[in-house]
Chains A and B, each alone.
Chain A
Amino acid sequence: NAGVTQTPKFQVLKTGQSMTLQCAQDMNHNSMYWYRQDPGMGLRLIYYSASEGTTDKGEVPNGYNVSRLNKREFSLRLESAAPSQTSVYFCASSEIAGNYNEQFFGPGTRLTVL
């Protein structure tokens, strides 16, 4: 089992460029999440998908869109990148929505927006 995989590992963008961060899990989990991690702020939830076919906003959704492509894959899109979106992005998955929540994390994508 690869667990949760993310691509790319690193990315540098110019302001205004767009990109999609990819995430896939092979644990047959229902729920998937996108977080951003900034120094001193812990992890903040951007969007989540409680089950295939559903997505919901988290704490900091502005400037992002998501797609739950199928049960395995959950992508995060930045339509017009801004320097404030410079961060480390983590994807996670968990077993059952609405139950206790043991989340499994990917290795992260380090994004720099110039």
Chain B
Amino acid sequence: AQSVTQLDSQVPVFEEAPVELRCNYSSSVSVYLFWYVQYPNQGLQLLLKYLSGSTLVESINGFEAEFNKSQTSFHLRKPSVHISDTAEYFCAVSSLTSGSRLTFGEGTQLTVNP
């Protein structure tokens, strides 16, 4: 079985400050890891993913996440946030043994204040 824990339910920050949203996973097999973003009253959009290869993955809007196998983590970071980054962020995991099923974390609400 696989599981995901997002360690912070809410993260308030000021504009232009750095941010880290934490995600830990549990799985007995190799995993694929994802971060999704949900803007208010919208569906989820894929932000970035780790499938294999380089452990540092980046999105087009400045977010990055690092896969750390020893710590079973996939934390999301951004060096300088904007008001428009205010959204809920979901970490998710899948594996070959889970078939086509994703397991989501509980979500982290990022609020960027002016």
| Chain A residues packing against B (C-beta within 8 Å) | 4, 31, 40-45, 48, 50, 58, 90, 92, 94, 96-108
Contacts and interface: CB of A to CB of B under 8 A. Distances in A.
Given A48-B101, A101-B101, 18 more contacts: A31-B100, A40-B106, A42-B105, A42-B106, A43-B104, A50-B100, A97-B99, A98-B96, A98-B100, A99-B96, A99-B100, A101-B100, A102-B46, A103-B44, A103-B46, A103-B102, A105-B36, A107-B43
Contacts of A105: 36, 43-45
For the side of the interface on B, what is the size category?
Answer: 20 to 34
B99 A107 contact: no
Contact of A42 (B42, B45, B51, B90): B90
Interface of B: 4, 6, 9, 32, 34, 36, 42-46, 49, 51, 90, 94, 96, 99-102, 104-107
Contacts of A90: 43-44
A4 B42 CA distance: 12
A44 B6 CA distance: 15
| Chief secondary structure at chain A's binding surface | loop
B106 A101 contact: no
Contacts of A107: 42-43
